[in-house]
Amino acid sequence: KYISIGNHTADHQILTAYSKEEAFKSICECQDMLQGMIGYRPVAIAYPNGMYSPAIVEAASEAGLKLGFTTVPKKEYLPASLNGAGAMMLGRFMPRGGNDVERQCRLFRSDVMLTQRMRVFKRKLAGAKNGVGYK
């Protein structure tokens, strides 16, 4: 249940080297092949070599795709990144060999620290029980 199949074009074409119409055709051909294999049409595409343009994003959207993954290394702030055209140009976390992997993971992990938020909540709750306001 945690695995999703996505589109990567019918033949790994670098889409920016083609017209929007040719890119659309390759994306749709892959959608058709994948539907035949897995029983549904994917909603995501990983652009070959991470190459995309406004025309390619438009072609992928017209093919019914809702998410597009580039190779731009960046931290995405979900669900905000999923609004509008940003959902078709998502970056990805790609650990680099030879670098401190633990440090890289810390840089890309979620900014929501549940344990920290729970501590704040418990302090607020304890303050309310004791009649003390907490900000």
**Which two three-digit tokens encode residue 16?**
């920016």
Is the predicted pLDDT of residue 8 greater than 50, yes or no? yes
Question: Picking from 55-69, 75-89, 114-128, which range would have the lowest pLDDT averaged per residue?
Answer: 114-128
pLDDT at position 134 is 46
Percent helix, strand, coil in the chain, to 5, is 50, 5, 45
Question: Picking from 83-87, 103-107, 115-119, which range would have the lowest pLDDT averaged per residue?
Answer: 115-119
pTM above 0.75, yes or no: no
Q: Which helix H or strand E contains 44, and what residues bound it?
A: strand 44-46
User: What sign results for the dihedral spanned by CA atoms 7, 11, 13, 18?
Assistant: negative
- Per DSSP, what are the bridge partners of residue 7? 45
pLDDT tens for residues 45-74? 999 999 999 999 999 999 999 999 999 888
Mean pLDDT of the chain: 84
Is the predicted pLDDT of residue 83 greater than 90, yes or no? no
pLDDT at position 52 is 96
Task: Report, as an integer, the average pLDDT of 30-47.
Answer: 96
